[in-house]
Chain A
Amino acid sequence: MRLTLWLLLLVAPLCNATTLLVKDEQGHPLPRVMVTQSPVTQPEADLSDDGYAPDGVTNTSAPVVTRFTDAAGQVSFETPGNQVTYRARAQGYVDANFPAIEGELVLQRMTPEQEIASYPSNVWLSQLDFGGDEGLKKTFQLNCAFCHQQASPFMRNERTEEQWLSVIERMNTYGARLPTDDHQKVATLLREEYRRLREHPETVPAPRQWEDHLSAVQITEWPIGDGFSQMHDFLLHPNGYIYIGDNLFDRIYELDPATGKYTVYKVPHDEDMGLGGIMGNRFKVFPKMYNYMGVHSFAYSKADGNIFITPSMQQALLEFDIKTKKFITHYMPEGYYPHTIRVDDKDRVWFTLALSSQVAMFDRSKKSFTVYDLPARGVKEWLILKTLPVMFSISPENRPQPDPDREGTGLPMPYGIDITPDGIVWVARLYANDLARIDPDSGEITMIDFPFQGPRRLRADADGNLWIVAFQDSLLVKYAPASGEFSSYKLPVINEVPYALNVDRERGVVWVNGNQSDTILAFDIASEQWQVYPMPRQRFFTRDIEISEEDGAVYTTNSHFPTWQSEGGVPTLLRITPLAE
């Protein structure tokens, strides 16, 4: 089915396309202009469950398609079957909105003020130096830039110190761990340094310029959900469907990318369970929330195709039967915050337990869990981790708030996980800056210091190397287990805080999330060269990447939190596909 679709996509421009020529005000053709075709309205949908699709309902998401002008300033689109509208966007030019692709379009230059204001978060963030305290800036980015673009227009608007303190304290109740001792310092510096930037915007560097390779790709987005929901991780399944988790509404969407039809499966929960599960409802002010389970990360079994999902708000593992489309909940005896998940070739399900510094293995054949304790970094951390069950026995409303320090003592946080071709399980601990190697046969755990800061998610390539993002160090890092050597690669955009990555093992490309720069970044392993792909919406925050082995199409989701701060105010699944060789 996929091959047929590809052929259709490749020949479609030849048979039923219209072409637009984009020029500047001097009449010169403008290359690298992003032209986005959006449906005027989305198809009628059943959203009768408090504004969301009920369980089992199939709705349709009409795709939003983005292409780029070529060197001659031209871009073509197939004539759509539905009513659409277009937006042309180019760096340094004012957006143009128009109803149809025909003839010529002239884009107006932005004023210098408009242009600087249009820059993405990362270049603004690059100019915050936190009074020269590099460690404080990294701490700030680690704790404050994993949900939001920190220097977006929304965030960089000036606030008083009291207002910043209020924001920081609220965010720490949501899950950030900005050290208490740093609250006042950060509030003061944000006030001072955003003031300085506002008064001297000319100091903000221009973002990386878009490049000619963009005219060779098409970006397709499927909007699903609304401004309160959040697409977190997702999965390309061999059955051709894409399974996307709505982290805040306990739903998974089974999307057919060929038709845009998606069926909704609502994750069940026990009747006596409260909102937010055992974590409690941290987002009390959110008007809409339905996260009793907290759908987080996805992996499928190569044995039967069933999908395993980590429910962050529970001591459990979810299994989605791909045939019956029913959920099975496997309860665990211990562990807190099931996070990232993988299934190995022996059909064992591995996932990190982020809060309790553990890794769990679910043996499907025995239907039993084995939990591996990762070592504490000291006595204090050991004590904190050991008292977690006591803490969680207290009701969420009365549970003491943590008092974090810069080292994240008590919170080493095993985060990303992957399995190298030799079957070894690898885990990155975000706050501890180390890697865990778990031999699944012996259960032996070996800890390896990570020489950079913020190992968040990691993936193995075909050669057994690990690729790891160093979040607050703004690096892509390779670890070669065979030699024990680390290699680091600067990202092609400044002050990015990379969240996750994936490896196209077939083509030898590492794809990295660029969640502060509205980009996704591609690193060719052989040539060590980067290509940068701009996202079609501003404040496009991505946390997961999947790659189609067949055609190399790259998928990600826009999971800015909250979604309503993202341009368009709706989560989207996004795919980048080559238009032609």
Chain B
Amino acid sequence: MRSIALLPGLYCALAAAAEPGWLYYGGDQGGRHYSQATQIDRSNVADIEVAWVFRSGDMASYGDAMDNTSTQSTPILLPEAAGESLVYCTPFNRVIALDPASGQQRWSFDPQIDRRGDRPFRCRGVSYAEETRTPAGAACRHRLYMSTHDRRLWAIDAVSGKPCGGFGDGGKVQLFGAEGLVPGEVSNSSAPVVAGGVVVTGSTVIDFARAHTPRGTVMAFDSFDGRPLWQFDPLSGHANSGSANVWAPMSVDVEHGLLYLPTSAASPDYYGADRPGAGLYANSVVALDLHSGELRWHFQHVRHDLWDYDTPAQPILFEWRKNGQAIPALAQLTKQGFVFVFNRLTGKPLWEITEQPVPPSQIPGEQAALTQPKPIAPPQLLNPFLMPSDAWGLTPWDRGNCARQIASLQNLGLFTPTSEKLTMMFPGSLGGPNWGGGALLGDSGVLLVNVNNVAFTGQLIPTPKETNPDSRKQDHPAAGHRMQVTMEGTPYNIEIGSLQSPLGIPCNPPPWGKLVAVDLVKGTIAWETALGSVHEMGPVTAPFHIEWGTPNLGGGIATAGGLFFIGATMDRQIRAFDVRNGETLWQYTLPVDAAATPMTYSYRGKQYVVINAGGHHMFQRGMGDYLYAFALPD
């Protein structure tokens, strides 16, 4: 009898031990955005409902400052030994730990960041590691690491939320040098990588506003005491530039001791006459030795970038299974809509990469690259060539207007350099894919990616005498607006805007945002579907959904239950798709847009899906400070 009575408890313990969690920003350290959780599946997802809602309080505390934020954080679930809290950060780098079942706050930590400067506040997440050099049971055996807007790397105790005094100076390391913090120049947004006793952080650099911006140096520290270990400047040897920073999440292959950096463009984004050459290692995926920082291999997907085609997404590490072989692989999404697939140990492409001849620049002194790389497979995730006959509109009038606009543009397809003439930028700096990355369906080799599909136009404007002081704030134009950005130290400003009709509707055919299922091994697109409804994008909200797809920021996650969860759209929805065919199986209207990647975990026998809903000012959408959890009813 006694043994029988013990069985349910044993079962629960075993079940708890096996419960799928979400220990890293990207689900795992290779950014697969995948969970083994199966409780919520295709058959019951329509039944899930709000389990709890937590509000960070940022809206009340920061007021108007929220207009300069982007809520992009994905929580992580700590292991039992680390307190089993659900932890995330707010745009102002407040770290909050919640009860995973109830959403009740357990603790919070506010680093009181320096909020000077006009760059947007963002925090995509925090990272967890068990520091085995700290005695078991002692504070800071389990740690959280976070890089802040004001360039500090913090280590805090995962159980209590208190800074780890033995790390750097009172729990923090300054990421800037003797020059001090220059507000608005460099900040941090993505979670650092922690593995093997090393914590590595990249940075966000204002790469468009000046010819000479700070370097995008990647820095590694000892995860125990914050001692500097190594640095990697992606632009080593290039004097007339800056940036090439790593703002998107990094990945790490712990087994092979390899760190993968998605590097961004060199400064300034749209003018390269003073930075001749390809500009290695900008616009690349770079593999470094985790422990020494030495270069192992690299691949540059844009040479001599003139389009702001940063490497936007976390490199995705997976096993490439083909013809009975399993190769450690890496898939890299780019804003151009390409998926490059490599052997992640050697950098050898697993799909042939061809050299595509591309148009030259017309700007004096500008030596655009003669060719750009393009994988032979999978196909590009969007069609970047738009002709007048492709113009779209609700009426013949706006369609005709769009056709005329398109006909007047300089447009030789992807990689057409901007000039003093208005030029098609398709995709623009928003992508294609962006920092939301992709979600792999387990070991299937199928990657689900949310893709923007809206054309921009751009034009180099000879530098005017006076410049709007607000012109440096944004990375991308706000919906419906044209933005002029300074490029100090060059003869030009750049003006960018979306290509749209007088009605404010994109001139290219919908969908303007889509979800694409890519079979990385077959090299094919399995299916694609519109992502998002435009019913809230017009001057008046329509009473019904119009599923033409919307621009989107944020990512999605896949589960073993056959589902793909994503917010990201400009319609306040979180949706669940059937991974087999893209059918929408469930959706829920949030109070504001969720421009963040959701996560899922099972806790005490129940699977939760959690998403951060903070709105998105760049898209001129409402703001908020919500964290929503969904689950099946009890």
Contacts and interface: CB of A to CB of B under 8 A. Distances in A.
Interface in A220-244: 226-228
Interface stretch (B3-11, B163-171, B224-232, B349-357): B349-357
A565 B523 contact: no
B275 interface: no
A340 B409 CA distance: 33
A51 interface: yes
Interface in A15-57: 51
B379 A285 contact: no
A160 B409 CA distance: 24
Contact of A160 (B374, B383, B416): B383
B410 A153 contact: no
Contacts of B376: 117, 157-158, 198
A198 B377 contact: yes
A137 B338 CA distance: 30
Interface in A156-213: 157-160, 162-163, 166-167, 169-170, 195, 198-199, 201
B359 interface: yes
Contacts of A201: 352
Contact of B416 (A159, A163, A199, A287): A287
B389 interface: yes
A227 B379 contact: no
Interface in B400-430: 407, 409-412, 416, 419, 421, 423
B387 A170 contact: yes
A51 B362 contact: yes
A569 B370 CA distance: 6
Interface string A545-570: 00000000000000000101111110
B390 interface: yes
B52 interface: no
Contact of A285 (B355, B370, B411, B419): B411
B385 interface: yes
A227 B385 contact: no
B526 interface: no
A478 interface: no
A302 interface: no
Contacts of B407: 284-285
A489 interface: no
B419 to A, nearest CB: 6
Contacts of B362: 51, 287-288
Nearest to B363: A51
Given A160-B379, A198-B376, A169 B360 contact: no
B358 interface: yes
B133 to A, nearest CB: 44
Nearest to B379: A158
A403 B370 CA distance: 36
B360 A226 contact: yes
Contacts of B390: 166
Contact of A154 (B356, B383, B423): B356
Given A51-B362, A227-B360, A285 B377 contact: no
Contact of A562 (B356, B359, B385, B523): B359
Contacts of A228: 359-360
Given A117-B352, A157-B376, A286-B412, A163 B385 contact: yes
Contacts of A160: 379, 383, 525
Contacts of B524: 195
A117 B379 contact: no
A227 B352 CA distance: 26
A113 interface: yes
Chain A, interface size category, equals 35 or more
A565 B354 CA distance: 13
Contact of B421 (A153, A195, A227, A287): A287
A539 interface: yes
A288 B387 CA distance: 17
A162 B411 contact: no
Contacts of A569: 357, 360, 370
Chain A contact residues: helix, strand, loop or mixed: loop
A227 B359 contact: yes
Chain B, interface size category, equals 20 to 34
A51 B421 CA distance: 14
A580 to B, nearest CB: 34
Given A158-B379, A160-B379, A285-B410, A153 B385 contact: no
Nearest to A162: B383
Contacts of B389: 169
A158 B407 CA distance: 26
Interface in B359-410: 359-360, 362, 364, 370, 374, 376-377, 379, 383, 385, 387-390, 407, 409-410
Given A287-B362, A568-B370, A158 B383 contact: no
A158 B524 CA distance: 10
B383 A566 contact: no
Contacts of B360: 226-228, 564, 569
A153 B354 contact: yes
Given A157-B376, A198-B377, A288-B362, A163 B383 contact: yes
Contacts of B416: 287
Interface string A132-154: 00000000000000000000011
Quick one: which of A117, A227, A228 has the most chain B CB within 10 A? A227
Given A158-B376, A198-B377, A286-B412, A566 B357 contact: yes
Contacts of A567: 357, 370
Nearest to A195: B524
A284 B410 CA distance: 8
Interface string A69-88: 00000000000000000000
A488 to B, nearest CB: 34
A176 to B, nearest CB: 14
A287 B412 contact: yes
A163 B388 CA distance: 14
Given A285-B412, A568-B370, A117 B421 contact: no
A227 B359 CA distance: 7
A207 B66 CA distance: 63
A199 B323 CA distance: 13
Contacts of A169: 387, 389
B385 A166 contact: yes
Contact of A564 (B355, B359, B523): B359
Quick one: which of A157, A286, A562, A568 has the most chain B CB within 10 A? A157
A198 B385 CA distance: 23
A569 B411 CA distance: 17
Contacts of A227: 359-360
A275 B272 CA distance: 31
A579 to B, nearest CB: 30
A174 B362 CA distance: 22
Contacts of B377: 158, 198
A568 B358 CA distance: 11
Nearest to B389: A169
Interface in A267-319: 284-288
A224 to B, nearest CB: 15
Contacts of A170: 385, 387
Interface string A442-464: 00000000000000000000000
A51 B362 CA distance: 7
Nearest to A284: B407
Contact of A287 (B354, B357, B383, B410): B410
7 contacts: A51-B362, A113-B352, A163-B385, A198-B376, A198-B377, A199-B523, A564-B370
Closest 10 pairs (CB-CB, A-B): A227-B360, A287-B410, A153-B354, A565-B357, A285-B411, A569-B370, A163-B383, A564-B359, A158-B379, A284-B407
Interface of B: 352, 354-360, 362, 364, 370, 374, 376-377, 379, 383, 385, 387-390, 407, 409-412, 416, 419, 421, 423, 523-525
Given A170-B387, A287-B416, A564-B360, 18 more contacts: A117-B354, A154-B354, A154-B357, A169-B387, A170-B385, A195-B524, A198-B376, A226-B360, A228-B360, A284-B388, A284-B407, A285-B387, A285-B409, A285-B410, A285-B412, A287-B362, A287-B421, A565-B357
